[in-house]
Amino acid sequence: MPPTKQISYIYLSDKRESKKNLSSSCSDALKVGVEGMMMRNSTLVCVPIMAESVGEMVTDMGKAKGLGADLVEIRLDYLKTFNHNEDLRRLVKECPLPTLFSYRPKWEGGQYDGDEQNRLDALRLAMDLGADYVDVELQVAREFISSIEGKKPERLKVIVSSYNFEETPSVESIGNLVAAMQATGADIVKIATTCLDITDVARTFQIAVHSQVPSGCEELAHVPLIGLGLGERGLISRILSAKFGGYLTYGMLEPGTVSAPSQPTIKDLIHLYNFRQIGPYTKVFGVISKPVSHSKSPKLYNEVFKSVGFDGVYAHLLVDDIQKFFQTYSSMDFAGFSVGIPHKEAALKCCDEVDPVAKSIGAINCIIRRPADGKLFGFNTDYVGAISAIEEGLKGSHNNSGKNTTSGSALAGRLFVVIGAGGASKALAYGAKQRGARLVSLAWEPPETGVFKLNLDGSQKNGSRLLCGGRDP
């Protein structure tokens, strides 16, 4: 019997997006969470197989199993040549994992551009030959499901899917879409929407949670849901699908074999993000930046979480508007964040409390949500880390002889020049001054005004003497 879990939840910044025609119990759940919901930490990991020949597909299926996949999605629309009877028999027979067959048409983002009846016939044959799942688009779902009535094997599950390559609609619109998909007789519903902002993913999480409500919300209940966000801003929909009860998530076989934007590799999904350990109670951490994909922080933190047995996951978070991000992801389970470019200064306004040093610097690079009251506390570790590294590099340097070392720092008495004007620059300027550097200068040349100088309180003013490009301006 699966354990009873309390689902952490998200507040949307736009409260008007509650689904108006849901029952009152659903509306309450949309606001603060779902108590006593039955959850299974059993989200499947699926690898799309998109090779151009059946032989390559068979090889890739074996690779997927070796990497830890639970099932494979066989994308028939990628085959250069396709003999329905012969090729489907081989694919079903030689696959070492449960199989999901899809034959995606161009009008739904796929490769197939032929006769529609021929396409649906191939999926029906896959069903007859032993497929475990078939995926059909909402536009043809009623026709397809009606055509297999009385013939559908007990093991087969029909996934009804819908893609939106332009946006993520409102919660109300997604709810209506899911209800329409369920009404076709789908065993599983799959929605994939383009995320123009990382907060768009919250709407998918809401619908995923409500698809599991055991009673009082019949419009969205009892049909498993696969909810995916397309694009880099939608990455967390794939990483956190197990937390919010998604039926399955996707991981590509290797870089360059992406069936949809933002898919992580199965290796990263399982080993970098520790996907198998993610569940309803998992705490969410991440690096907030733009760009963000280059960051090594997820590897560092997730390794630490795993080594100490901490139930947490650390993700890349491509954030455009940091205030909107914190307004949306206000659950206690969104517990801590590293803050990168360009948000270090704007993040100050998002915090309920700020460490005095960070306030003096005028920028923060870390935010934690205090477990006691849920308030956001900001602080700055940039200056400590960077200055300590510089000091370590200067120790023993022959250039340090004769310098003032009364402060105990290798920087004492040195001329310290900061090139840049962002949050990290402010932190270094502050740290150098605290270590007794002889001069702290900010070398920055805005195109319209010239040079600026950084005060200790983090403000900027015109500077009369700055080092710019290694010489006096």
**Helix (H) and strand (E) counts for the chain?**
14, 20
Counting Cα atoms < 13 Å in the Cβ hemisphere of 267 gives 6
Characterize the bridge pairing of strands 439-443 and 415-419.
Answer: parallel
Cβ pair 53, 79 in contact under 8 A: yes
Dist CA 412 CA 462 (whole Å): 26
Cβ pair 304, 252 in contact under 8 A: no
Dist CA 367 CA 349 (whole Å): 12
The residues, ordered by sequence, that sit 6+ positions from 175 with a Cβ below 8 Å of its Cβ are 19, 22, 207, 210, 219, 220
Cβ pair 246, 209 in contact under 8 A: no
Residue found by looking up tokens 């899917």 in the block? 161
Dist CA 130 CA 61 (whole Å): 16
Other CB atoms closer than 10 Å to residue 439's CB: what's the count?
A: 14
* Burial of residue 398, with CB atoms counted within 10 A of its CB: 0-12 exposed, 13-18 middle, 19 or more buried: exposed
Cβ pair 202, 31 in contact under 8 A: no
The residues, ordered by sequence, that sit 6+ positions from 42 with a Cβ below 8 Å of its Cβ are none
* Burial of residue 408, with CB atoms counted within 10 A of its CB: 0-12 exposed, 13-18 middle, 19 or more buried: exposed
* Burial of residue 95, with CB atoms counted within 10 A of its CB: 0-12 exposed, 13-18 middle, 19 or more buried: buried
Annotated active-site positions, please? 344
Amino acid at site 24: S
Amino acid at site 20: K
